[in-house]
């Protein structure tokens, strides 16, 4: 493009004159935010006498005869730079006008003042380009609004859309809050393998890769669970991990092939204790990031203040459909009822699977919550312990908020004989062609043989938690680099709206 050619010529001219368009550093002494905090109410046309060095990307540029103005954006915010003839001289003012383009990184040293309009500024005594931009920023008015372009060129999205920068900051604050809360409760943070010899801990299709050194296939983990439970066996009684999982499945507004999970396990806790822990963590994150536990999500009030409602699957189905169902109804009756409710059921499905399918198709999306949905059938919960008072069920809950599953949690199964039986059923299903069923993990079972104390565990989808707090509906908004369909051969990535003009506006 013509603008790239012109900028390359500027780069060549600077190098020929002995100026480095990519110096190793700049004499930066402060940030935009620090200056604004220090001088929040400085009167118009005031000089402070303070000399400061600032640096940032040129987001707005106004060229005048004897004075130029530029908005510099650093990692903390915006500050205005003023380049004036009587301060820098005619030659350097001409250099600014000729060499500095929108998108360039520039370092400016000078006195902190306010302009005649009252804008906090740095009046340049000296300046230097610190990184010459060879491509123009998106044009101010069209901006970078195409959703596909925004995620393919996330760096541009972060430059021109302040809302995207705030989302990235919020995600960091969420993980920091969760981590701090768990550490304060005595949990120990660990890291477990990402490449594993077997895939287990969830029903999902894995990604497969290969260890050249050992000449064996391995898998990207689909869950953190089985390694964390080994650590509970080993005596780490409160343990957690925040890490990436990988599932070779579909992509939609709430699913990405790689995603972030928090899993936490606590010895001598059960699923009731885990409900309290979930409420504590989520309410704490809301308070830390939004300053309140009463939010608005997609225009609707959402109160995350503990305690939260607890209700069984059967109770919620009855409330939503008016139909009383349970495992005791039997598979044929549940299948008949599913047909009446327009819920498709696979041939030969067991009663527990049918009951959960009815719940998921008729109830879950309408639960605004938050609500802990309790007491799942054994058939769909191979890693949870039997319910202490309800045969055929396990002590498991899923927390649903705004119609979306946020948490999956159990009183963990710690009987190694029963765990082997259930995993053998999973392995048989896998051998029969169910590539989402778990395989038999002998190392995990050997660890259980040594005795795991009664344990409660939770898994929280971090991406979905950020979506909730950020009031967005697509997981792509809260992932800096979501999975994308590859561009066709020869196709260029969209650079929506690139061109002239300034790029100071929020185009998101």
Rounded distance, CA 90 to CA 249, Å? 62
Structure tokens at 385: 């312990």
Rounded distance, CA 477 to CA 360, Å? 25
State the CB neighbour count (10 A cutoff) for residue 355: 27
Rounded distance, CA 384 to CA 372, Å? 16
Q: What is the pLDDT of residues 120-179, one digit of tens each?
A: 999 999 999 999 999 999 876 456 777 788 889 999 999 999 999 999 999 999 999 999
Consecutive 10-residue runs of the chain (508 residues): their mean pLDDT? 94 96 95 97 96 97 97 96 97 97 97 97 98 89 71 92 93 97 98 94 91 95 96 98 94 93 98 98 97 97 98 97 95 96 92 97 96 96 96 97 97 97 91 87 96 98 97 94 79 43 30
Rounded distance, CA 80 to CA 69, Å? 7
Per-residue DSSP letter, 108:
E
Rounded distance, CA 214 to CA 228, Å? 25
Rounded distance, CA 75 to CA 124, Å? 20
Helix (H), strand (E) counts: the chain: 15, 18
């Amino acid at each position: 493009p013509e603008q790239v050619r012109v900028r390359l010529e500027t780069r060549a001219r600077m190098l020929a004159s002995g100026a480095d368009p990519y110096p190793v550093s700049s004499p930066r002494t402060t940030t935009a935010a620090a200056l604004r905090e220090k001088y929040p109410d400085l009167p118009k046309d005031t000089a402070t006498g303070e000399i400061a060095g600032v640096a940032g990307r040129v987001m707005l540029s106004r060229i005048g005869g004897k004075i130029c103005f530029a908005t510099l954006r650093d990692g903390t915010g915006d500050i205005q730079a003023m380049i004036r003839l009587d301060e820098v001289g005619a030659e350097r003012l001409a250099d600014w006008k000729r060499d500095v383009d929108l998108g360039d990184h520039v370092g400016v040293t000078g006195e902190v003042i306010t302009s005649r309009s009252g804008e906090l500024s740095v009046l340049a005594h000296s300046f230097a380009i610190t990184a010459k931009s060879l491509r123009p920023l998106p044009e101010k008015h069209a901006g970078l609004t195409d959703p596909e372009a925004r995620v393919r060129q996330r760096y541009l999205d972060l430059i021109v859309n302040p809302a995207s920068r705030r989302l990235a900051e919020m995600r960091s604050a969420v993980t920091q809050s969760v981590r701090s809360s768990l550490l304060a409760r005595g949990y120990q943070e660990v890291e477990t393998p990402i490449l594993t010899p077997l895939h287990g801990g969830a029903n999902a299709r894995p990604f497969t890769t290969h260890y050249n050194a050992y000449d064996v296939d391995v898998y990207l983990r689909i869950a953190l669970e089985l390694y964390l439970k080994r650590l509970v066996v080993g005596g780490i009684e409160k343990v957690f991990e925040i890490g990436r999982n990988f599932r070779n499945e579909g992509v939609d507004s709430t699913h990405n092939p790689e995603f972030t999970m928090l899993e936490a396990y606590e010895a001598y806790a059960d699923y009731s204790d885990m409900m309290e822990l979930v409420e504590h963590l989520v309410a704490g994150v809301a308070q830390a990031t939004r300053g309140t536990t009463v939010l608005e999500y997609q225009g609707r009030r959402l109160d995350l203040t503990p305690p939260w409602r607890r209700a069984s699957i059967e109770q919620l189905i009855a409330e939503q459909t008016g139909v009383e169902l349970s495992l005791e109804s039997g598979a044929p009756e549940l299948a008949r009822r599913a047909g009446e409710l327009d819920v498709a059921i696979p041939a030969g499905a067991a009663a527990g699977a049918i009951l959960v399918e009815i719940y998921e198709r008729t109830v879950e999306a309408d639960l605004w919550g938050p609500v802990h949905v309790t007491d799942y059938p054994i058939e769909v919960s191979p890693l949870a312990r039997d319910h202490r008072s309800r045969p055929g069920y396990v002590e498991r809950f899923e927390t649903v908020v705004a119609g979306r599953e946020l948490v999956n949690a159990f009183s963990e199964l710690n009987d190694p004989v029963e765990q082997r039986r259930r995993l053998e059923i999973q392995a048989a299903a896998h051998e029969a062609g169910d590539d989402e069923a778990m395989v038999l993990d002998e190392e995990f079972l050997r660890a259980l043989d040594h005795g795991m104390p009664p344990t409660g565990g939770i898994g929280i989808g971090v991406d979905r938690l950020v979506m909730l707090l950020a009031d967005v509906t697509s997981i792509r908004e809260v992932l800096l680099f979501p999975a994308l369909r590859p561009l066709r051969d020869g196709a260029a990535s969209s650079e929506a709206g690139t061109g002239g003009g300034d790029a100071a506006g929020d185009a998101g």
